Chains A and B, each alone.
Chain A
Amino acid sequence: MESSTLRNCFVLTNHQGLHMRPCGAIAATAARFQSSVTVSLPDRQVNAKSILDLMTLGAPKGTELTVEVDGPDAKDALDAMAGVFDRLAKGDFDEKDET
């Protein structure tokens, strides 16, 4: 299968921003795929398979993040990442104001 690079942008709309649990969900999801997965701010890019790297973004509500995937399963990986950001936007990780 041909390798390809795909990207999409996501704006954090949840109150708590990119706190530990969404970072964990992103890392666990990205790790399921062979493709490399990165999450970027305008000035920084981190490995989305590392919860520690993701937390260094410290991204609050309103931040636009760029997700870039590269590899044989890039489309599936990007779809799965979109699913995590969709859950985040719906408040799945902000219940009861936990972090």
Chain B
Amino acid sequence: MRMSDFVVRDAIIPDLAAVNKEGVIREMAASLRAADCFREADQEDVVRAILKRELLGSTGIGRGVAIPHTKHNGVERLIGTVAVSPNGVSFESLDGEPVQVFVLLISPQDRPGDHLRALENVSRCLRDDNFVKALRGATTRDQIWSLLEKYDH
């Protein structure tokens, strides 16, 4: 599995406007909804599910990256999107630092294998400092997509 297999190109956000955790999750969910990844009726429920997961422990894992995620039956297959906040957002990260790079994942219920493979792939990519640095510097959707294809580990 590669990031380009599950990241929805049309939902990539190169310049997040949100300035807090809930705003980031809402903006990314709205972008996936706008790309027809799930029904409008499910959007609020998806947002609430991701926020509920954050209450169990922040998915801001340090080094300026976060992987908010949830399971939801509003999606038929595992999907994701990538967003970059040029100024960074406070996300209650493990290291207390603001987050610039977000990878949001939504998987169908009871498909733990798919979720683990996506997490494995995202982690491999985000472990590469050059990839994260390049993402932070990207300013367009096409640039981010090119980076996903170039750095897919």
Indicate whether B62 reaches chain A with its CB closer than 8 angstroms: yes
Contact of B94 among A19, A24, A59, A60 (CB under 8 A): A24
Indicate whether A52 reaches chain B with its CB closer than 8 angstroms: yes
Contact A52 B116 (CB under 8 A): no
The secondary-structure label for the interface of chain A is loop
| Distance of A90 Cα from B69 Cα, bound (Å) | 23
Contact B63 A52 (CB under 8 A): yes
Contact A51 B61 (CB under 8 A): yes
Listed stretches A1-9, A10-18, A70-78, A80-88; interface member: A10-18
| CB contact list, A81-99 vs B, under 8 A | 97-99
A40 to chain B, nearest CB (A): 15
Q: How large is the interface on A (under 10, 10 to 19, 20 to 34, 35 or more residues)?
A: 20 to 34
Q: How many of chain B's residues have a CB under 8 angstroms from any CB in A?
A: 28
Contact A17 B112 (CB under 8 A): yes
Residue of B nearest to A55 (CB): B123
Instruction: Please encode chain B, from 116 to 147, with 1 for each CB lying within 8 Å of some chain A CB and 0 for all others.
Output: 11011111101100000000000000000000
Question: Known contacts A55-B120, A97-B71; is A19 also within 8 Å of B61 by CB?
Answer: no
Contact of A61 among B67, B70, B112 (CB under 8 A): B112
Contact A58 B120 (CB under 8 A): yes
Listed stretches B9-17, B35-43, B52-60; interface member: B52-60
B95 to chain A, nearest CB (A): 11
Q: Which residues on B sit within 8 Å (CB–CB) of A34? A: none
| Distance of A55 Cα from B65 Cα, bound (Å) | 14
Indicate whether B31 reaches chain A with its CB closer than 8 angstroms: no
Q: Which residues on A sit within 8 Å (CB–CB) of B56? A: 21, 98
Can you list 15 A-B pairs, Cβ within 8 angstroms, ordered by A? A51-B61, A51-B94, A52-B123, A55-B120, A56-B120, A57-B120, A60-B112, A60-B113, A97-B71, A97-B109, A98-B52, A98-B53, A98-B71, A99-B53, A99-B69
A interface residues with partner B (beta carbon < 8 Å):
15-21, 24, 51-53, 55-61, 97-99
